[in-house]
Amino acid sequence: MREVSISQLWGRTWDLFKVNWLLLVGLYVLLVIITFISINDLIFGLILLIFGRFLSRFFIVGFISFLIVQLILTPAFVRAGYLVARKGRSSFGEAFGDLSLLLKVFVYDLILRLIPGILTGMGAYRVLESVVDILAATPPETEKDYGAMIVSMMLGGTGGVLIGAGLVIFFILYLFGWAGPYAILSGRAGIFGAIGQSFSLTAQNFGKVFLALLSYIGLLIFVPISGRVVSLQWFYIVWILMGYLIVLPMGFVFLPLLYFALTDEEGASHA
């Protein structure tokens, strides 16, 4: 195993991002737009399902859009970052080129997210259902604080407990399962073998992996905090948008570079 320097990995990530920014940013923007549409339609459709007890077209469209994101776009984004880290360059065609690999990455991700996803989904449904019940029992002329209602239901109700448990389990699974997609894309393992390899790789290099992931999370947190230096609201919004357009796509290159460093595979940075 090569010596892993987090600062050097980020330096290599930045160099590769500058060469492939159009591909990475383009995929990220497409991912965000379709995700935004799917979530909005799902929420509106869920409200109609609770109030009207019927399945609306909003829910169906939102669900299909969500499937497109999870089944195709997210795995393609992961593969694009992997190919950039491995070869130095990639393209939209290469990112979407091997549907069987994209499907394997999707299934792997689905396995890791299944339990936390069910818990958080049930929790969100319980919170929303409780808020709707409170609204139905509240006189129309009474002033309503929707934010306070949701926070109260999350902190004191079953929904909040389920959401909290789901988030904790998701964090643990992501911490140990982050390398699985790269084991699949490199041909080292199948779906279930990748789970074992990722957990083993992380356990053997826990300190390095934890610090590397912490550096990525730190950058994601730094973007909104640093934008508060200037009090102008428009500047803050632009700063957030531009910051995440750079930091998030860079993360999809940084992680496979970390995988290559820990497994002694040769990436673009070592060519």
The pLDDT value recorded for residue 271 is 41
Which DSSP string corresponds to 226-249?
A: HGGGS--HHHHHHHHHHHHHHHHH
Domain positions in the chain: 6-113+175-270
**Cα-Cα-Cα-Cα dihedral sign, residues 96, 267, 112, 121:** negative
Measured CA to CA, the distance from residue 148 to residue 244 in angstroms comes to 29
Closest CA to 101 of 28, 185, 198, 6: 185
Q: Is 20 exposed, middle or buried (0-12, 13-18, 19+ CB in 10 A)?
A: buried
Exposed, middle or buried: residue 198 (CB in 10 Å: 0-12, 13-18, 19+)? buried
At 75 the pLDDT is: 93
Q: What is the pLDDT along the chain (271 residues), one digit of tens a residue?
A: 556 789 999 999 999 999 999 999 999 999 888 888 888 777 777 777 666 665 667 677 777 777 777 788 899 999 999 999 999 999 999 999 888 999 999 999 989 888 888 888 888 777 777 766 666 666 666 565 555 555 555 555 677 788 888 889 999 999 999 999 999 999 999 999 999 999 999 999 999 999 999 999 999 999 888 877 777 777 888 888 888 999 999 999 999 999 999 998 766 644 4
Is residue 164 a contact partner of residue 170, using CB atoms and an 8 Å limit?
Answer: no
Q: What is the pLDDT of residue 246?
A: 93
Looking at residue 235, its pLDDT comes to 80
Supply the pLDDT for residue 148: 56
Residue 191 neighbours by CB under 8 Å, 6+ apart = 104, 107, 108, 111, 184
